[in-house]
């Protein structure tokens, strides 16, 4: 892997005016760092769900001048792998009944675990999409996918007793986690999420930089397993 973080720095410094340049530098970095293609087979998601997940993640974090997309970062794989963790089975939450709905500010009160939320949420979203657009979500053009996702985010749709916005909140949260967590969890491929934000990962020693006031940190990121950029 190339170790110079310079292109990203350049990118951040020139965001305002030099779109052409930053696009070039970004692509250059990617082509150097791109990992070999390995097809990941989902363990939790069905093929239909998997298609939806890809099409949605791709819009939540799109590929653009700022950096790679959620797909390039391996976010669907991250989410699929998370589905086998205690979190996805609701083991981190108090799940005892009765389950009574109340004001939003008193927090989540449904019986659904994250696994349920994906199962019912994706199925509900696919149905809603067929109703609204007469086609599969994954087959919509990017702009229509965006407007549909906004519909899930802030519309009043319900999938049974699961609000679409609750499903969307989980999807967005997990997508961001996948893009920016340590690659040990399956996302943030090639440390692309960290490169985009300038986060040095597990470097965790800034003795020499704490009082370099206002100056950009000079080193690239490192992961728990020792991968660097």
Partner 1 sequence: MATITRKSVNVVIVGGGWAGSIMAKELTEAGQHVVMLERGAERSTAVDGAYPTSLDELEGNFRFKIFQKLQKTTVTIRNNITQTALPYRQLAAFLPGEGVGGAGLHWSGVHLRIAPDDLAMRSTVIAKYGKSFIPDGMNLQDYGVTYAELEPFFDKAEKVFGTSGEAYTVNGKIVGKGNAFAPDRSDDFPLPPLKDVTGAHLFRKAAEAVGYHPYSIPAANASRQYTNTYGAQMGPCNFCGYCSGYACYMYSKASPNVNILPALRNNPLFEIRPNATVLHVNLDSTKSRATGVTYLDDKGDKIIQPAELVILAAFQFNNVHLMLVSGIGSPYDPVANTGVVGRNFVYQNISTTTAWMDPSVYTNQFIGTGGGGVAFDDFNSENFDHGPLGFIGGSPVWVNQAGVKAIAAAKAGGPPGTPRWGSAWKSEMIDTYTHAVRMDAHGSNMAYRDVFLDLDPTWKDAFGRPLLRMTFDWKENDIRMNRYVVGKIEAVTKAMGARRTHLGMKEFGQPFDTRFYQTTHLGGGAVMGDDPKSSALNRYLQCWDVSNVFVIGSNAFPQGTGYNPTGMVAALAYWSAHHIRMTYLKNPGPLVPV
Q: Which range, of 42-50, 133-141, 155-163, 181-189, touches partner 1 by CB under 8 A?
A: 181-189
Query: DSSP strand E in the chain: where?
Result: 158-159, 162-163
Query: Any contact of residue 210 with partner 1 (CB under 8 A)?
Result: yes
Query: Any contact of residue 215 with partner 1 (CB under 8 A)?
Result: yes
Query: Which of 66, 116, 144, 155 touches partner 1 (CB under 8 A)?
Result: 66
Residue number with CB closer to partner 1 (43 or 100): 100
Residue number with CB closer to partner 1 (128 or 171): 171
Longest CA–CA span in the chain (Å) reads: 58
Which whole-number Å values give the CA distances from 28 to 25, 35, 133, 210, in the listed order?
A: 5, 14, 38, 31
Residue number with CB closer to partner 1 (36 or 86): 86
Residue number with CB closer to partner 1 (157 or 203): 203
Query: Any contact of residue 116 with partner 1 (CB under 8 A)?
Result: no
Which whole-number Å values give the CA distances from 212 to 206, 209, 216, 218, in the listed order?
A: 10, 5, 8, 11
Q: Interface residues for partner 1 in 131-170 (CB under 8 A)?
A: 146, 149, 153
Query: Any contact of residue 38 with partner 1 (CB under 8 A)?
Result: no
Query: Which of 31, 37, 98, 134 touches partner 1 (CB under 8 A)?
Result: 98
Residue number with CB closer to partner 1 (84 or 130): 84
Which residue ranges make up the site for partner 1 (CB under 8 A)?
A: 12-13, 15-16, 59-62, 64-67, 85, 87, 91-96, 98, 100, 102-109, 146, 149, 153, 172-173, 175-177, 179-182, 184-185, 193-194, 196-202, 204-207, 209-211, 213-217, 224
């Amino acid at each position: 892997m190339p170790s110079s973080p310079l292109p990203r720095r350049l990118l951040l410094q020139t965001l305002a005016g030099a779109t052409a340049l930053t696009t070039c530098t970004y692509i250059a970095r990617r082509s150097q760092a791109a990992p070999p293609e390995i097809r990941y087979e989902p363990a939790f998601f069905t093929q239909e769900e998997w298609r939806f997940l890809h099409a949605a993640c791709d819009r939540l974090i799109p590929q653009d001048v700022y950096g790679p997309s959620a797909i390039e970062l391996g976010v669907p794989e991250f989410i699929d792998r998370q589905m086998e963790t205690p979190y996805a089975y609701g083991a981190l939450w108090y799940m005892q009944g009765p389950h009574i709905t109340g004001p939003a500010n008193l927090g989540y009160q449904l019986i659904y675990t994250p696994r349920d939320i994906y199962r019912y949420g994706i199925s509900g979203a696919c149905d809603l999409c067929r109703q609204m657009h007469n086609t599969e979500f994954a087959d919509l053009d990017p702009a229509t996918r965006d407007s549909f996702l906004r519909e899930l985010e802030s519309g009043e749709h319900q999938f049974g007793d699961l609000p679409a916005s609750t499903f969307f909140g989980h999807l967005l949260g997990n997508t961001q986690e996948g893009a920016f967590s340590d690659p040990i969890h399956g996302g943030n491929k090639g440390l692309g999420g960290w490169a985009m934000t300038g986060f040095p990962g597990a470097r965790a020693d800034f003795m020499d930089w704490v009082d370099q006031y206002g100056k950009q940190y000079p080193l690239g990121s490192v992961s728990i397993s020792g991968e660097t950029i």
